[in-house]
Amino acid sequence: MILVLNAGSSSLKVEVFTSDLTSVLSGAVTSIGTDGAIKLGDETVRTKTANHADALAQMLDALAHAGITLDKLTAAAHRVVHGGTILTQPARVTPQVIAAIESAIPLAPLHNPNNLAAMLALQAVAPGLPQYASFGTAFHATNPAVATRYAIPQTEHDAGIRRYGFHGLSYAGMVASFGTALPARLLALHLGNGASLCAIKDGRSIATSMGYSPLSGLTMGTRSGDIDGAAVLRISAALGEDETDRMLNKNSGLKALGGDNDMRSLLNRHDAEAAFAVDHFCYWAARHAGSAIVAMGGVDAVAFTGGIGENAAPVRDKIMAFLACFGDVPVHIIAADEEKQIARDALTLMGPA
């Protein structure tokens, strides 16, 4: 069995898979660092965890109680948000890989340290257990330089100011789920609280709407999506860096336009403010879709995933109405399963049993 770990800023999610990628059990520790809960399967127990290492120890205990002891695991596989420019493929966790994840901390200061903490804590309690890592940015490593380069001086580019793209595990999982039926030019939209889209040509990402960080591109639940750098400078001069960061990442998007970051609630309301927020979301998704379609030289199919993409038919319909100018394109709805993709990556690296 493979234990997939996703260490977020204050949570640790786990899912256990068999070697044929069947999910056996999933759970999470929430509110790490304070009074939180540990949930495994249908059971939830309130608990207090000091840090990610402590959360992992408590989760391993809970798994053991559920019959999944460490000796039953053949590998652990981690989700790492940012692989930087070095980690462009899933990898076995080695000292070199740990150093590369550390070197990408400036690019994902809230996420990569937690991913590392989970790896090191697991290594300490299970030194013989092979560990693997999949990177949220890696799928976009195939984007051409013309797509990843910002038109700014080389020194800044060399310092890491370039487009990376995110949601890569979701897109890689989508490609895997199409199998041999994968369309040559696929417009993929991951629409959840975070939202992005990706031009996938012959199974490879060639353009994506997120850039240096997950802030850019589409209108999102609480993130602004694209905004002119000069506007950011002016807001920052008035409010300071931290408050600007909070505004653009946590208090913008649907929340700013509709007073609610939840698409389902917005669709259930019938006032002008909610309608405008939904229209803004769909319009900008379609504007970015046009750009991605041009990068692919056309489009053979569109695929939606994520909480909104999978469930919000009115949103899909509005976006597809804009895209009608590209002809009658087949639409697919694919369940996002990043954990399964992480397990799949680890199995591929492990090779035949």
Q: Which residues bind ligand AMP (CB under 6 A)?
A: 192-193, 221, 262-264, 267, 306-308, 311-312
Indicate the residue among 30 and 58 with the shorter CB distance to ligand AMP: 30
Rounded to the nearest 10 degrees, what angle do helices 112-125 and 95-103 cross at? 160
Distance of closest approach, residue 64 Cβ to ligand AMP, in angstroms:
29
Longest dimension (CA), the chain: 59
Distance of closest approach, residue 313 Cβ to ligand AMP, in angstroms:
8
Cα-based distances in Å from 42 to 28, 58, 184 = 11, 17, 41
Q: Whose CA is closest to 59, among 125, 113, 1, 109?
A: 125
Indicate the residue among 140 and 223 with the shorter CB distance to ligand AMP: 223
Distance of closest approach, residue 232 Cβ to ligand AMP, in angstroms:
24
Indicate the residue among 244 and 249 with the shorter CB distance to ligand AMP: 249
Please give the Cα distance from 319 to 279 (Å, whole number).
9
Distance of closest approach, residue 255 Cβ to ligand AMP, in angstroms:
10
Indicate the residue among 55 and 263 with the shorter CB distance to ligand AMP: 263
Q: Which residues of 75-99 are buried (b: 16+ CB within 10 A; e: fewer)?
A: bbbbbbbbbbbebbebbebeeebbe
Please give the Cα distance from 320 to 206 (Å, whole number).
21
Q: Which residues of 178-193 are buried (b: 16+ CB within 10 A; e: fewer)?
A: beeebbebbbbbbbbb
DSSP letter at 110 equals T
Indicate the residue among 107 and 267 with the shorter CB distance to ligand AMP: 267
Write out the E strands in the chain.
2-7, 12-17, 23-30, 35-40, 43-48, 75-80, 91-92, 131-135, 185-191, 195-201, 204-208, 301-305, 331-333
Indicate the residue among 108 and 220 with the shorter CB distance to ligand AMP: 220
Distance of closest approach, residue 199 Cβ to ligand AMP, in angstroms:
21
Indicate the residue among 204 and 264 with the shorter CB distance to ligand AMP: 264
Please give the Cα distance from 52 to 205 (Å, whole number).
33
Distance of closest approach, residue 11 Cβ to ligand AMP, in angstroms:
14
Distance of closest approach, residue 347 Cβ to ligand AMP, in angstroms:
25
Indicate the residue among 217 and 221 with the shorter CB distance to ligand AMP: 221
Distance of closest approach, residue 217 Cβ to ligand AMP, in angstroms:
15
- Are the CB atoms for 138 and 348 separated by under 8 Å? no
Distance of closest approach, residue 315 Cβ to ligand AMP, in angstroms:
7
For ligand AMP, which residue has the nearest CB? Answer: 307
At residue 267, φ and ψ (nearest 5 deg) are: -70, -30
Indicate the residue among 107 and 336 with the shorter CB distance to ligand AMP: 336
The burial class, CB within 10 Å (0-12 / 13-18 / 19+), for 24 is middle
Rounded to the nearest 10 degrees, what angle do helices 168-178 and 338-350 cross at? 70
Instruction: Give the bridge partners for 35, in sequence order.
Output: 48
